[in-house]
Amino acid sequence: MSSLNRCVFTDGPFVFSAALINVMKLKQVTTTGGEMLRSASDIVSIEVYDKNGKKMSINCEIKFPVIKNVFSSSAHHIPLCHFIQDIDGPGHWSTKGCETVYDNYLEKGVTCKCTHLTSFVILMKPTQEKESFSRLTIIGLAISSIFLIITLIIICVLK
């Protein structure tokens, strides 16, 4: 279930349209790479038109102050800014042209710096580095344990 809040400003040389689609239920969406990632924010849609009705593409910064904690432990997930690539078609989410800026995202939020305007959302991507680091740790621990046992056996035999 979701709700839509829309705002349109027509004063001045531009027509500005913004919408916030509140995502009530956490859901997974498909990216252009075919990944299924979980949404961690509401969807923000921004459009700017000139007086002739032509859609303008400008650089923008969008601050998502609230990131939903979609996992019991977010230690192995990172937030990434995504935009809807094809509004008229099936609509896959992409990161092309967007940079994600964050520090402690659960407390400070996330900023998307993008080269265009459209609909934006924060999706949580699993990190691969954490998994390979934990595998490396387990392998290192196992090798160290084996040599510790060999050392103890040698010490006991030589006594």
Is pLDDT above 70 for 48? yes
- pLDDT over 70 at 3, yes or no: no
pLDDT level of residue 1 (50, 70, 90 thresholds): very low
pLDDT for residue 8 is more than 70: no
User: Percent of the chain beyond pLDDT 70?
Assistant: 79
- Tokens 């279930």 identify what position? 1
Name the residue ranges covered by the structural domains of the chain: 2-126, 128-159
Is residue 86 pLDDT above 90, yes or no?
Answer: no
pTM of the model: 0.66
Q: Parallel, antiparallel, or unpaired for β 77-84 and 60-64?
A: unpaired
- Cα-trace Rg, the chain: 24
pLDDT, tens digit, 9 for 90 and up, residues 103-125: 888 788 899 999 988 888 888 88
Distance CA 137, CA 80 (A): 27
* Residue 56 bridge partners (DSSP): 48
